[in-house]
Amino acid sequence: MRTEWSWIEPLMETPLARWLQNLPSQVERVWRDRPHGDTPAWQAALSQLPPIETTGFSLDSPSIRAGIAADCDDRTRERIREQLMSLHPWRKGPFEICGLYLDSEWRSDWKWERLQPHIQPLRNRLVLDVGCGNGYYAWRMLGEGAKQVIGIDPTQLFLHQFEAVRHFLGRSHPVQLLPLGIEDLPPNLQAFDTVFSMGVFYHRRSPFSHLAELKGCLRKGGELVLETLVIEGGTNEVLVPDGRYAKMRNVWFIPSPTTLLSWLSRAGFRDAKLIDVSVTTTEEQRSTEWMRFESLAEYLDSMDPDKTVEGYPAPRRALIVASA
């Protein structure tokens, strides 16, 4: 994938410079050394998106919106639909492109509504979104006035989805998605005002290693926004699934909220606060036309929806903010 680097120059006077000076070659190595077999099909879908001069956009509404229905005729809208559907499955969203509604697996806007009132205002902040997926939250961060948003996610399909949306929103917005993981950033960078890690923590083998990586990305006094699976329970209670959890192979640990708060304190974070705990419902995460694979309903015990198919407590998610 062709990557533009003009956005780097304004950031070379920030603490990010230590990373950015090597970033182009780092990303090019990913595209060269880790090619995905579906990349030609994804690239073809992007190249066939019609050029449209869209009428406005919205980054601060539940759907990331580019244009309105009147910006194209039905035939063109069907062409857009076909190409975007070539990038199935759409996990995060929703999006609305020229009147075409992309009903993603997750109602990601619900999570944003839960966290947005409780975080430090993002206006003029330098933001990192770890495990950013297709960039839905990165656009919402930009809608809150962030100066620059950098999203990282090694799943290359998601980056192609981001580029498809940006085709209609335009390339001038200060948001970038990169095919990297947090381990690809220099240690102890101390550059970002806000770091988001949502839906990533339980996939990491070592909780303290991930917390150290997140803290190293933040400037002193910067804010971490952490969202992860939790269980009900007291301090020091942790579920370590034997095999899969909700059909996911790579869930290594699920702490109680108080355990998670104690881990953050031990990792050197200050003022950690639990701002929300919510049971995930089949209204928030479900199969749709735009994500036709199994979803939460198939991950739960059909006779007891309070348990996963493996017999563990059903997914419950916590949101925590903390200062570096």
- pLDDT tens for each residue of 122-134: 999 999 999 999 9
pLDDT at 215: 98
CA pair distance 230, 17, nearest whole angstrom? 36
Going by C-alpha positions, the residue among 312, 322, 311 that lies closest to residue 233 is 312
Contact 93/64 with Cβ under 8 angstroms? yes
The ranges assigned to domains in the chain are 107-323
**Domain 107-323, classified CATH 3.90.190.20, yes or no:** no
The bridge status of strand 100-102 relative to strand 57-58 is: unpaired
Which residue ranges of the chain lie beneath pLDDT 50? none
pLDDT of residue 3: 77
What's the pLDDT at 1?
73
pLDDT of residue 105: 98
pLDDT at 4: 83
**pTM of the predicted model over 0.75:** yes
Q: Can you point out the beta strands (E) in the chain?
A: 57-58, 64-66, 95-97, 100-102, 126-130, 148-152, 175-178, 192-198, 218-229, 238-239, 254-255, 270-279, 316-323
Which pLDDT score, from 0 to 100, does residue 145 have?
A: 98
The predicted structure's pLDDT at residue 65: 98
Instruction: Give the Å distances, CA to CA, from 45 to 25, 116, 136, 176, 247.
Output: 26, 33, 19, 20, 30
